Structure 1
Amino acid sequence: MSKEILDNVKEYYGTVLQKSCDLKSDVCCTAKTRVMTKSAKEALALVHEDVDSRYYGCGLIVPECLEGMKILDLGSGAGKDSYVLSRLVGEQGHVTGIDMTDGQLDVARKYQQYHAGKFGFSKPNTDFVKGFIENLGAAGLADNQFDLIVSNCVVNLSPDKRAVLAEACRVLKEGEEFFFGDMYADRNQSEEIRQNKMLWCEGFGGSLWWEDLYKIAAEVGFSRPRLFAAAKINVTNAELEAIIGDSQFASVTYRLFKLPHTNEPVTEVVYNGGITDFEDSFKLDHEWTFNKGEAQVVSGEVATILKTSRFASKFTLTATDRQPAYNEVSRARIGLGALDF
């Protein structure tokens, strides 16, 4: 079944789909999951139209604080996200895209020099490798290699999501994150949905129940998933809608951090600014937004994230006897409840 799924997905995204509007849902129109920054808009405007037209993601995936970062893009396709990120990391940063589809990789590789010129770089700061996101080692990707991993509506297409998350955790540096958009369901899927070739290739058949993401993340070594943004997905094909029935789906961006085994204590933190496009405030997730100069008391896990990640230089952390405004543990599994399914 696993090989059959991968072969079907490869054919669908390499041959059947030729442009974004060929999809049977509005999943590629869910950029409302977050506001695009000025820098991202400027980078996006420079992406070649051939790359842009072969885009099948859940809205552009662009995390913050990217200058000089070494990024891995899982399921990079024709390279749209990768190229936007490559401009934002700058000439000293680097973006590696990995995809299993030759046609998509051909498009991405074709425009490497084009984008380097558009961005004013002396040479490309991208490379695109062929491989499976379930086995990054086979593509030559080493332990603790990347500062940041992104993925855009790809994990749901994999038949082995545990392997994908385990490999992402392996190649990610300690303290850093897997920032990814994907499709999730409000329940476990029926066999009829899971076995439908079209529904799997469109992302519905392989969508995780969001509760399962929490279980898998903990098993492979990530901290608790942090819900960043979400938007409901609508099916635009009547035949597929009839099969799906009452099941509901969402495009959701989560942050998964690879943290040290020992957490910081409860800590008072102050955001000092300095993140491009987020000078006045920085949103960590749907619970925590930090305004510049404003002290907040956070849990040990949040303090550990801010101390060990690429955000560390942007915050001042101070020990405190005060308690956070709420108990994160009691609200940790809010999950897709934020969508009012």
Structure 2
Amino acid sequence: MAATGGSIEKCFKETATHLKVKEFYGKVLKKTTDLKTDACVASSGPVPAHIRHALNMVHPEVIAKYYGCGLVVPECMEACQVLDLGSGSGRDCYMLSKLVGEKGNVTGIDMTEKLLEVARTYTDYHTQAFGYKAPNIRFVQGYLEALNEAGIEGSAYDICISNGAVNLCPDKKPVLQEAYRVLKEGGELYFSDVYSSGRLTEEIRNSNVLWGECLSGALWWEDLMQLAEEVGFSPPRFVSGAAIKVFNKEMQDILGDFKFLSATYRLFKVPRGAGKPREVVYQGGITGMEESFSLDSQYTFKVNEVVEVDGDVAEILTRSRFSDKFTMLPPGGPSQTCGASPKAGAVNPFELIHHRSDVPGSTTGGCCGTQPTGCCN
């Protein structure tokens, strides 16, 4: 992929919301302690050693200027082509640059030039630190709703990630459409973001501070299910989540009875409803997941254990980058799952988090967590 830099020639029209968000992240927000909610607080969950090692190699200034939340790191990334939607100062991109290896490639896209300037400054530094012969990373300026205008190719990426940036876009459907377009068949959109318990009022959606705090743009979780279907993704898989706390009394009064959570979802570019329930066996081989692999909150696979999965998951495991990590048992054979049944259907994340204590804030941290401590400084 050719390097791209500088400003883009814009056909996509910025909205007032885009300008407010750029103002907030480019000028108003100076440090994480300026925030009035814990929507940008790291999870207290354990971080696998190989991810910790990669993160520790990122330049301190890149980390200091990073206003994302937690860590969003999908599994099985070696040699993958990765696109980071809303890359900010580049912390996640450089970490992913190490994880994908010299044969992989990472592209970061953001609309805020001040943050991109920080990211681009340290390309050579990280190339040398990782021992690469040439950079495997680039940063482009553009909008998540119009990746094509920033020169992002179609059907070029194995994985798109996003860390609390989709909710900053006023119209979510074009973002999902563009992510779907640039993914390869079998590719994945793995992203952490803020969701609401219902469709938000105009008062909330028009609040400047609440936009910057990632609440005004929160999507009703049921609308994500609908938008994913309209775009063509398989049904979203809920990975993890945590409730968001609002510290500010004035904000609490505006928000009323609405509840918010940070949630990580994975959406795959595989045919919807095409598969049938199957029995599968995880063979291991995923870095950091040698003994067991959790696809989402419903399915955890232990090495050499037979698990029956629903049709959508069967399609994912057959067509995605995980395909060589699983053995699909012949259909119609004798069941070895002791009567277990596949778990289909959408998960209500608010109910799941409320009723279950075993739902983590994500192994590597979602867009927010449960501990009110700053995440990036």
Q: How does the TM-score come out when normalised to structure 1?
A: 0.95
Given that 1:266 and 1:319 are in contact with CA atoms closer than 8 Å, whether structure 2 keeps it comes out as no
Contact 1:20 1:55 in 2 (8 A): no
Q: Which amino acid in the other structure matches residue 81 of structure 1?
A: D
Q: Secondary structure at the match of 2:274?
A: coil
1:57 alignment partner in structure 2? 68
**Structure 2 residue aligned with 1:4:** 16
Say if 2:234 and 2:272, in contact at 8 Å, map to a contact too: no
Measured in 2, the distance between the counterparts of 1:205 and 1:28 equals: 14
Contact 1:271 1:292 in 2 (8 A): yes
Using the TM superposition, give the Cα deviation of residue 187 of structure 1 relative to its aligned residue in structure 2, in angstroms. Answer: 1.4
The 3 A distance-change label for structure 1 pair 158 and 82 is: same
Residues 241 and 262 (structure 1 numbering): CA distance in 2 closer, same or farther, change over 3 Å? Answer: closer
**Structure 2 counterpart of 1:15, from 27, 36, 39:** 27
Instruction: Verify: 1:332 aligned to 2:346, yes or no.
Output: yes
- Equivalent-residue separation in structure 2 for 1:43 and 1:260 (angstroms): 34
Please name the residue that 1:107 is paired with: 118
Q: What's 1:238 paired with?
A: 249
Q: CA deviation at 1:310?
A: 0.5
Q: Are positions 1:122 and 2:150 aligned together? A: no
Quick one: which of 40, 44, 54 aligns to 1:28?
40
Distance 1:236 1:82 in 2: 31
Q: How many residues align?
A: 339
Deviation at 1:176, TM superposition (A): 1.4
Q: Residue 56 of structure 1: SS of its match in structure 2?
A: coil
> Which stretch of structure 1 is more off in the superposition, 34-43 or 177-186?
34-43
Q: Percent identity?
A: 48
The structural deviation recorded for 1:16 is 1.0
Name the CA distance, whole Å, in 2 between partners of 1:105 and 1:236.
30
Post-superposition shift, 1:2?
6.2
Gaps of 5+ in 1: none
SS in 2 for 1:328: coil
Instruction: Say yes or no: does 1:306 pair with 2:317.
Output: yes
Cα deviation code 1:142-200 (max 9, x no counterpart): 21110100000001100110000010001001111100000001111111111111101
Paired AA for residue 55 in structure 1: Y
Deviation at 1:327, TM superposition (A): 4.8
Note the C-alpha offset of 1:17: 1.3
Confirm or deny that 1:285 pairs with 2:296.
Answer: yes
1:151 aligns with 2:162: yes
Higher helix share: 1
Q: How does 1:112-261 map to 2 (within 5 A)?
A: 112-260=123-271
Cα displacement string for residues 195-230 of structure 1 (whole angstroms, at most 9, x for unaligned residues):
111101211011011010000000001111100000
- Which segment drifts farther, 107-116 or 146-155? 107-116
Are residues 182 and 261 of structure 1, via their aligned partners in 2, closer, same or farther at CA, if it must alter by over 3 Å?
closer
Question: Which amino acid in 2 is paired with 1:69?
Answer: C
* C-alpha distance in 2 between matches for 1:61 and 1:72: 12
Q: d(CA) in 2 for partners of 1:309 and 1:192?
A: 41
Shift of 1:141: 1.2
Q: What displacement does 1:54 show?
A: 2.0
The residue type equivalent to 2:351 in the other structure is: G
Answer yes or no: is 1:79 the counterpart of 2:90.
yes
Kept in 2, the 8 Å contact 1:151–1:181? The answer is yes
Answer whether contact 2:75 2:286 (CA < 8 A) is retained: yes
Q: Which moved more, 1:71-80 or 1:244-253?
A: 244-253
Q: CA deviation at 1:262?
A: 6.5
Distance in 2 (CA, whole Å) between partners of 1:307 and 1:39 is 26
Shift of residue 261, structure 1, vs aligned partner = 5.4
Distance 1:3 1:131 in 2: 14
TM-score, length-normalised on structure 2? 0.86
Contact (CA 8 Å) 2:233, 2:271: kept in 1 or not?
A: no
Q: Secondary structure at the match of 2:233?
A: coil
Query: Where in structure 2 are the equivalents of 1:86-97 lying within 5 Å?
Result: 86-97=97-108
- Is the Cα–Cα contact under 8 Å of residues 241 and 349 in structure 2 kept in the other structure? no
Farther-moved stretch of structure 1 (320-329 vs 76-85): 320-329
Structure 2: where are the runs of 5+ without partners?
Answer: 1-12, 356-377
Counterparts in 2 of 1:261 and 1:212: CA distance versus 1, 3 Å:
closer
